[in-house]
Structures are given as C-alpha cells and as structure tokens.
C-alpha cells in the first residue's frame, strides 16, 4: 500500500468571518491533493488532455470534526475506498489533520470520462494500478455526543 499525503499552509483567503476555515476550502484541499497525486504518478493535465480523459465526481461529502484556523499547517491524505477492478469507478477518501489531530474527512465517489465522447470510460492500466495501490480508508462515522 502507498501512503499519499501533502502538507499545505492555510491561507487567509481560506477563512470566513468566524475566523476559521470556510467549509468550501476543505473541498478545495481535497481536490488539490487528488490533482497532485495524478500529476505525481505521471497523469498531469497535459497527459490527461492527450488521453482525452478526466475524473468526474458523482458525490462528495465532508464531515467537519475540528476547526482549522489561519496560520495552521495541515496535512491531507488520499486513501482508496471501494473501486472497480479496472479502476473505472472509484471511491476516495481524504483525511485532513492539523497540529491537534483529525479535522475533517471527505468521501467522494466518481469515475473516468472520455471527454470527447462524454461517456464513462476505463482509465489506462497504470492509472488504475496506482489508485489500487493507495492505502485503504473508510467512510467517517459521526458519533452523537450525549
């Protein structure tokens, strides 16, 4: 299994009037890590454009666990969930941590699209293999307090 993780400094523009990170920035952090992962395994935007494929998202949900504040440095990982053997449909997870622990968990479900035909497709085997080699993750389960 391959652990994939990036570190990011929280920017002032990521915050809201409550002086913590705005909800939509969490999704941006996850997207940044996914795109970096694809680039790091040799499937940057130029390569995907040449292959005429791209990732699409059907659902994306974030569980907000702890606040993230300006000046925090956060770590975001990418983990695999359920996935077709050929990598055509997938579930991915991102966990976001600051110096105090886990702050959020993002789960998304998606697939690959042939951008010319606008239809779902199977990715190149190298891309599917890289996704299958990610460390495994699970959906976050929120536990009600008393």
pLDDT, mean of each 10-residue run, the chain (146 residues): 93 93 97 98 97 98 95 97 98 97 98 98 98 95 73
Domain that holds residue 58: 4-132
Q: What is the pLDDT of residue 109?
A: 98
Q: What is the pLDDT of residue 139?
A: 87
For the chain, how many structural domains are there in total? 1
Torsion of CA 23, 28, 30, 35, to 10 degrees: 170
Residue 91 belongs to some domain of the structure: yes
Residue 81 belongs to some domain of the structure: yes
- Cβ contacts of residue 11 below 8 Å, gap of 6+? 70
Q: Which residue in this structure is represented by tokens 């010319």?
A: 116
Residue 139 belongs to some domain of the structure: no
What 8-state DSSP symbol labels residue 13?
A: G
Sign of CA dihedral 109, 115, 120, 122: negative
Using DSSP's 3-state secondary structure scheme, residue 26 falls into: helix
Residue 57 belongs to some domain of the structure: yes
Residue 123 belongs to some domain of the structure: yes
Residue 137 belongs to some domain of the structure: no
Entry pTM: 0.93
Q: What is the pLDDT of residue 135?
A: 97
Among candidate residues 98, 89, 104, the one with its CA nearest the CA of residue 140: 104
Among candidate residues 59, 58, 64, the one with its CA nearest the CA of residue 23: 64
98: CATH: 3.10.129.10
**DSSP one-letter string for 78-132:** EEEEEE-TTSSEEEEEEEEEETTEEEEEEEEEEEEEETTTTEEEPPPHHHHHHHH
Residue 77 belongs to some domain of the structure: yes
Residue 109 belongs to some domain of the structure: yes
26-67 pLDDT, tens digit per residue, is: 999 999 999 999 999 999 999 999 999 999 999 999 999 999
Q: What is the pLDDT of residue 146?
A: 52
Q: What is the pLDDT of residue 13?
A: 95
Above pLDDT 70, what percent of the chain?
A: 98
């Amino acid at each position: 299994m391959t652990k994939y993780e990036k570190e990011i400094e929280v920017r002032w523009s990521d915050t809201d009037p409550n002086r913590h990170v705005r909800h939509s920035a969490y999704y941006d952090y996850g997207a940044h890590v996914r795109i970096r992962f694809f680039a790091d395994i040799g499937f940057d935007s130029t390569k995907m454009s040449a292959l005429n494929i791209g990732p699409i998202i059907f659902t994306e949900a974030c569980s907000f666990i702890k606040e993230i504040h300006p000046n925090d440095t956060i770590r975001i990982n990418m983990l695999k969930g359920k996935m077709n053997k050929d990598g055509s449909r997938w579930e991915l997870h991102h966990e976001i941590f600051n110096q105090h622990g886990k702050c959020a968990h993002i789960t998304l479900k998606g697939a690959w699209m042939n951008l010319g035909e606008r239809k779902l497709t199977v990715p190149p085997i190298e891309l599917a293999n890289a996704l299958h080699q990610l460390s495994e993750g699970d959906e976050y389960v929120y536990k009600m307090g008393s």
